[in-house]
A and B are shown apart, each in its own frame.
Chain A
Amino acid sequence: MTRLMKHRLFWPVFSLLALIVINTIARPQFIKITMRDGEFYGALIDILRNCAPLMLVALGMTLVIATRGIDLSVGAVMAVSGAVTLTIIDGSSSPGSTSTVLVAILAGIGVSLVLGLWNGFLVAVLDIQPIIATLVLMLAGRGVALLITDGFITTVNSEPLNFVATGYLFALPFALFIWLAAAAAIAIVERRTALGVLTEAVGINPEASRLAGVRSRGIILGAYVASGTLAGIAGIIYSSNIRAADANAAGDLIELYAILAVVLGGTSLMGGKFTIAGTVIGVLIIQTLDSTILFLGVSSAQSPVFFAIVVVIVVLIQSPRVHQWGRALTGGFRTRPGTEVRNDAEVTA
């Protein structure tokens, strides 16, 4: 049991299960999944479907955070990719045709890839602090999206586009398959190749990695490209869901929720060791919490208060000082000043 508790995914999984149990007790229909016209429906299915944009963004964010970085521009990239895709469909003569939609989606993803490359260039090549480097695009990106849509909310009615967010495949939402595929692809690439361990090496100790011959520049660049691309796909799903490109609302605050999901999943913001499974669970926790708050009759506008409390609790649990208190309570160690400098005692002694 204690070994199970020590597993890094224990607390995230525990929190998710606890949330589901609490919800089920409060409203039994929460757990119920019904079959209608050969398609599954229910609160849980909704969660799995609605979490897709956040999931994609959080997966990319995990990679970026693993390299000791952060990508603030994901929301803006979502807005741009949605704007590009929908503007192309809107402008085409046959908005309903699958090929038009495919071209438009590829264009949207392509643009996001370039934006990710831009972030990566600033961070990996020009060596600019990630927060600052991605702040540029965070500021300018929405402006670009607004220019693309001429400042309007571009609405589009196109069957193939609608399918992306609301369609069903094999009785399950299509959006679920998108994020499952993304998560699986990332997990496989990171773990079956050496990319995962090299990413962690760069995140834990960039200088040592460089001297060990690791091509950290390429790895960091790749993480931002992945983050940008995934945010682009997220933007398209978002637009498909509301059937419009809304340059102001698309991905608003999503960078913050994505970071929260990554941290909830157990990846440290200091970079290094990361877990894709943890991030998936983190996103599901956030989405379930969101659904819970909604159920409680709280206006969705007020839900940030709850997330603030979650953030505070999570960071407190991770804080070394609280760990110390925990140890002090369970006996043994005394707390004392200056403990945080202790770690380097061996080198300086």
Chain B
Amino acid sequence: MSTTTVTAPRARLASYSRTFLDRHSSMMPTFAALLIFIALLIGAEMHFGNFLTPLNMSALLLNYAYLLILAVGMTFVIITGGIDLSVGSVMAFTGISCAKLLGEGYSAAVVIPAILLGGAAIGLLIGVLVQYFDVQPFIASLAGLFLARGLAFVVSLSSIRVENESVLWLQTTRWRFGEWYITPTGILALSVAAIGAFVLAFTRFGRTVYAVGGNEQSARLMGLNVARTKVLVYVISGVCGGLAGLVLTAYSGAGYPRNGIGTELDVIAAVVIGGTLLTGGTGYVLGSVIGVLVFATINTIIAYEGAEQAWTRIIIGLMLLMFIVVQRVIVVRSERRR
């Protein structure tokens, strides 16, 4: 090294920070997303003066519980290096099925497992196509998208109101803590995130997800069960789609076959903004939670401002651009270092 002439304390600081970076470099994008989230909140509060209220913050979770659930499933898929375009349609399909079945008098105890199974089945189809028939995830999940969307319209061409008490309870119940409140759907979403985070960090399956995304060939040669893992992540994403369908149906008090058109893009954007690399191998559920919160906050700010909702898409697009360019720079840098 020709740079050993730096003064000692600085060198030590540098070495500490390097150790930290060596250990946690994959978390940097998530930290960045967190900073952006905080900056957004502070900026909005300074601008509006009445933004950072418990009511507003509670509403973030209430309004975007479905997106959070979808993002958790998508995180699994993207970490393996795949992508799932079907989530918005699966949510619509399971949502309308839920409303339809409840309308026909089935009890929620039957309907909820049934729609989760429906979501899982579509996920399984995608996973099998990807793993056993070498279909690109993009195309396989595209088939899933078409299938689920079509099936949603097969179930019903128009929206169906839900009058089932227990499903509506998910949304109407407000547990209050002072001015803060949370609904059962919010708790559901947070639980999904917590379970997702736990599975990824503390189970062998979760670690295999990362290994597959890092280098599938290696993972196979290391004797890990790659096939099962790859199929399972799509099933997980499908189940999350089913749960999101339930939550959205409860939220809007109705099932609607047009729900969630383009939602897959919002989900992917939220996951990427949260620091998960689309190339696979790196990412955190916590990051995706932050990504969803960033998305939700931008939406809320724009609603507050009374501006065109179109800005949301543009800002999210620009943010996505910023993130992928930064990620690209990091990759180029690390390639150069080797």
Give the B-binding residues of A (Cβ under 8 A). Answer: 70, 122, 126-129, 131-133, 135-147, 150-151, 247, 252, 256, 259-260, 263, 269, 299, 301-309, 311-312, 315-316, 319-322, 340
Contact = CB atoms under 8 A, between A and B. Distances in A.
Interface of B: 83, 125, 129, 132-136, 138-140, 142-147, 149-151, 153-154, 157, 257, 261, 265, 268-269, 272, 278-279, 308-314, 316-318, 320-321, 324-325, 328, 332
Nearest to B85: A256
Nearest to A136: B321
B139 A311 contact: yes
B147 A304 contact: yes
Given A132-B278, A143-B311, A321-B133, A315 B150 contact: no
14 contacts: A126-B328, A128-B324, A140-B314, A140-B321, A143-B312, A151-B308, A151-B309, A260-B142, A305-B147, A308-B144, A308-B150, A309-B147, A321-B132, A340-B134
A327 B32 CA distance: 53
A319 B312 CA distance: 40
Given A126-B325, A136-B321, 11 more contacts: A129-B279, A132-B278, A139-B317, A150-B308, A256-B146, A299-B157, A302-B154, A305-B150, A308-B145, A312-B143, A315-B139
Contact of A139 (B129, B142, B269, B309): B269
A224 to B, nearest CB: 15
Given A139-B317, A142-B313, A305 B151 contact: yes
Chain B interface helix/strand/loop/mixed: helix
B268 A135 contact: yes
A340 B217 CA distance: 12
Contact of A304 (B149, B318, B328): B149
B267 to A, nearest CB: 11
B143 A308 contact: yes
A151 B308 CA distance: 7
Contacts of A299: 153, 157
Contact of B140 (A127, A140, A151, A315): A315
Given A302-B153, A311-B146, A133 B313 contact: no
A76 to B, nearest CB: 9
